[in-house]
Structure 1
Amino acid sequence: MIWHLLAALFVGLGAGGLAHLLRLASGRRLPRWIVPVCAGLGMLGYQIHHEYSWLDYKRSQLPATAQVVDAEKGQMFWRPWTHLFPMTVAFTVVDHSSMVRRQADEHQLVEFVLYRFEKEYVDRLDHQPHLMNCTTREMVPLTGEERRPNFQAMRGVDASSPLYESVCSLW
């Protein structure tokens, strides 16, 4: 967080410095207010770029075996540009290296961990082990150290969803 603050500060100084040079090159015909306006626009532009490139940056940090299966976009009233172009505020990842495949009767089961990244002032990561029945397209979270299924939270999964395709594609 401190590095982004420093980067925004230096971008603002650079943009303000360029505006000051333009003002000097024009023989001081450009108004004086151009310097702080350009500095502010530079900092705002850096912040917008940082917010919209967050998903790509986080994706580049993931291992090669990880696959993004869902991304949530959101709008905030204090960021008016997000009403025109919603930004990614969270995404969900499945890591193929942690999957355990099993056959039980005629059911194909896959145990996996679902990771959820949320963009906040400090990035937040939650993870939850799940069990997917690829035959019946049902998914249930596993709780506790013994990883017992929580059947009250069982839900169906659409066959065309990226999560189902990612988890059950190798069967």
Structure 2
Amino acid sequence: MLLGLVGTLVLGIAVVGCLMFLNKLTGKRLPRWIFPAGAALGMLTFHIWNEYTWFDRTAADLPAHVAVAETYTTSTVIQPWTLVFPRINRYAAVDLSTVKTNDKAPGYRLAEVYLVTRFTPTAATQQIFDCPGGRRAFLGRSDTFGEDGLPEGAAWESLDKTDPMLSKVCSAPTSG
């Protein structure tokens, strides 16, 4: 966040510098308001670019075995352009190298899922997916597994059969 602010300020100064050079070349014929207006336009453009490309830049840095499964958009009145063009501010990614099965519960898969939100530390969660039943449950550190290989007292969430996270986890190669 601090680097974004510094980058925005440096860009504003650079735009003013370019306009001053252009003003000198034209014999100081540019109106005085062009300097703050140019700096403001440059900084606003950089800010919008930085916000809208955050997801693409972040997702491109993920290792090959981590796949983005879901994205979530946001709109706010403070940034009115997001009301027309919502931007992605968080996403969920699954580490396909961590997908595991249990011989006692063959239709279920355990995977590590990362919840990434802009300006927030990434949260790593363990989730179990019921592939035939189309549901999932978040696992906590204190969760225990029963004789059937399933977590005891898990809060299952029903998913649509076309849910992207369910599809990625259930089609991933597994380890035992």
Aligned to 1:15: 15
Q: Is residue 139–residue 156 contact of structure 1 (8 Å, CA) maintained in 2?
A: yes
Aligned to 2:77: 77
SS in 1 for 2:17: helix
Q: 1:124 to 1:150 in 2, by over 3 A?
A: farther
Q: Scaled by the length of structure 2, what TM-score is found?
A: 0.86
In the comparison of the two structures, how many residue pairs are matched? 168
Q: 1:59 to 1:150 in 2, by over 3 A?
A: farther
The alpha carbon displacement at 1:151 in A equals: 4.1
CA distance in 1, matches of 2:60, 2:80: 28
1:137 to 122, 134, 139: 134
Report which of the two has the higher share of helix: 1
- What code does the residue aligned with 1:78 have? I
The alpha carbon displacement at 1:72 in A equals: 0.5
CA distance in 1, matches of 2:21, 2:68: 45
Matched, 1:164 2:166: yes
- What code does the residue aligned with 1:114 have? V
5+ residue gaps, structure 2: 146-150
SS in 2 for 1:97: strand
- What code does the residue aligned with 1:19 have? L
The alpha carbon displacement at 1:170 in A equals: 4.0
SS in 1 for 2:102: strand
Higher relative contact order, structure no. (Cα contacts within 8 Å, ≥ 6 residues apart): 2
1:128-161 Cα offsets, whole Å, 9 max, x none, are 2111111211211112245553746211121211
Q: 1:146 to 1:36 in 2, by over 3 A?
A: same
CA distance in 2, matches of 1:26, 1:166: 59
Could you tell me the percent identity over the aligned residues? 27
Matching of residues 4-153 of structure 1 within 5 Å: 4-104=4-104, 107-119=106-118, 122-146=119-143, 149=151, 151=153, 153=155
